[in-house]
Chains A and B, each alone.
Chain A
Amino acid sequence: MTTLPSSPRPARRPSNLLPMLGVALAALLLYWPLMLWANSGQAARSLASGADLGCSTALACATQLRNPVIPAPGQFASGFRNLSVPPLAPTSAPYNALVTGGETLLGLALASVFGLVLATLLVRSRSFERATLPWLVASQTVPIVALAPMLAVLLGQYGVQGFVPKAIIAAYIAFFPIAIGMAQGLRSPDPLQLDLMRTYRASPAQVFGLLRIPASLPYLFTSLKVAATAALVGSIVAEISTISFSGLGKMLAENSRASDTVALWVIMIYGAALGIVLVAIIGGLERLVTRWRPPA
């Protein structure tokens, strides 16, 4: 999530596949007893309070609870099938994940533009930095997600509805790491390089475009990866708390109200996968851009 841009990444090393498989296997072996333990506790409490669950012992009920703490394998399977087939139906998770992913990417794009402008101002004007930087940091401690409904309502007043308010809320949450990362990146060229530009009589705009911007790219991508997760949280929260017709957040809200625990688990896994895919997309973009960049 947070990496120091300067950390050196060792190139070689053997494949991680085998150890990863081992860990996955161990987790699977742990899952079965954990599931039985968690669910039978719940079942025992329900039975004790006089519920008719259609099974008599807690252990027998553990794999067939309607609201399991941890779903049994069969429940997982049917939950996945229900929410994934057909993949592009408005009620299925893959389609809604695409919607949320789209909102998040749009939000990230907005946040990048805003973050770049802010970073430029921060680097160019010391009075701006002194007047606003503490409050930019502070803005990150404001639980803006609490304000998402109000923000959406205010935007709705001006006819901004649907896709866009979610992207804006995502952008609000994501701009900060980008702005700070970019400011750090814009300042990263060392005095030697700046001196060189000066001897070439480069204009400030040239220094900016030819030296500072390219130098800041690695920082941009590092902060984009941090920002991507934050933006995803932003768009899901926005979907939950505003008028939405699609998206993982809307599914989350709907199913948590319809008391469908298995669906919640499935959506959680889709959300996790979406987060991983988004970071991977940015990683791919980074490789593309850094390869395309002329060698320094």
Chain B
Amino acid sequence: MTQDSVQVTALPVRSGFGLPLLLLAALGLLGLSFLLAGQPAPAVAWPWLLSVVALLVVGAVGIRQSAQGENRTARILPAAATLILAVLAAEAVLRAYAIPTGLIPTPSKVAQSLWAARTVLLQDAYYTFVLEALLGFVIGTLAGLALALLAVRFRILERGVLPYAALLSSVPIVALAPVVIKAAGLGWPSKTIIVAITVLFPVVINAVRGLQSAQPMHLDLMHSYAASPAQTFREVRWPSALPFIFTALRVSSTLALINAIVAEFFGTEGHGLGFRIQIEVGRFGLDIVWAAIVVASVIGISFYLLISALERYVLRRN
């Protein structure tokens, strides 16, 4: 990313060796898992562990080689390879030590369960993401923006409300959950409210900062053009607030989903990823638990990337 990070190229191997090394490591790990699949648990696990570590070292060298240069492959391949190698290594190690599914399931088992329970997990994801996280996120953002506009318009409000917003943004959400659920019921709206509250405060704080961040020079300029307050707002204040607002939104986007899941631990009507995780942990269906976690993560990352893309698009246009 920066120039100074390029200097660390110790190995004099050409970057063309990256891919073969990665393939070697991946196929090696895959092979280990296959060898372990037929028999029960091997009597001694450490030779297997040693092979896994050796292959991971090969993989690490491969990743390093493939990360050189500025082309597309060099940007994407290392991350993809890291994930694939980590998953394959986990599979081999879990098999070598014969860890029961009830403690840690193998990635292949998780994949099977993910497929087998896909309908229910998608239904759960609909509740947790669409109804709770997304709706809460939108409500919290809109309320936060409205409050910020009021605070900037009426100074007295800013001085009275903003300090509370700063204080309340450091309130742990789990302490809130039981009380909100008691008040708003076990259905999804109570979780939506919790998400909205957690999104609200960072948005308020950052939006107010952003709205006030307009350069005095620009404001003076608008003033000398005899621009109306609405024009000033549209042309100067709002554009300069956008980067601040998006910072808050990006951080809130991942928190929204996690908070929805945590809130579900305090009571549900039998839907949602948090509910699924909680119920399956209790019955040692950890393959389903991990499948639900995978679903949550994929949605979380996508949402984060979506907000980031929106940020780039909006900021470029302004």
Contacts and interface: CB of A to CB of B under 8 A. Distances in A.
B8 to A, nearest CB: 5
B172 A20 contact: no
Interface in B195-233: 201-202, 205-206, 209, 213
B5 A271 contact: no
A23 B67 contact: no
Interface stretch (A50-58, A160-168, A261-269): A261-269
Contacts of A3: 205-206, 209
B157 to A, nearest CB: 8
Interface stretch (B36-44, B76-84, B89-97, B108-116): B76-84
Given A7-B213, A276-B170, A252 B261 contact: no
Interface residues of B, number: 74
Please report whether the interface of chain B is mostly helix, strand, loop or mixed according to DSSP: helix
Contacts of A7: 209, 213, 244
B1 A275 contact: no
B160 A23 contact: yes
Interface stretch (B119-127, B134-142, B292-300, B310-318): B292-300
Contact of B5 (A123, A150, A261): A123
Contact of A19 (B75, B160, B297): B160
B243 to A, nearest CB: 7
Given A123-B5, A127-B64, A2 B248 contact: yes
Nearest to B67: A127
A19 B79 contact: no
A272 interface: yes
A20 B297 CA distance: 40
Interface string B155-190: 011011111100111111111101100110000000
A44 to B, nearest CB: 15
A38 interface: yes
Contacts of A187: 2
Interface of B: 1-2, 4-6, 8, 63-64, 67-68, 74-75, 78-79, 81-83, 103-104, 156-157, 159-164, 167-176, 178-179, 182-183, 201-202, 205-206, 209, 213, 243-244, 247-248, 251, 254, 257-258, 261-262, 265-266, 273-274, 277-278, 281, 286, 289, 292-293, 296-297, 299-301, 304
Interface of A: 1-4, 7-8, 13-14, 16, 18-20, 22-23, 38, 67, 69-70, 123-127, 129-135, 137-138, 140-143, 145-147, 149-150, 187, 194, 225-226, 228-229, 232-233, 236-237, 240, 248-249, 252, 256, 261, 264-265, 267-268, 271-272, 274-276, 278-279
Given A7-B209, A127-B63, A276-B170, 10 more contacts: A2-B202, A4-B209, A8-B213, A14-B159, A16-B159, A38-B183, A138-B300, A146-B278, A150-B104, A278-B170
13 contacts: A1-B248, A2-B205, A2-B206, A123-B4, A125-B5, A130-B79, A132-B79, A142-B300, A229-B169, A232-B172, A233-B172, A271-B175, A275-B171
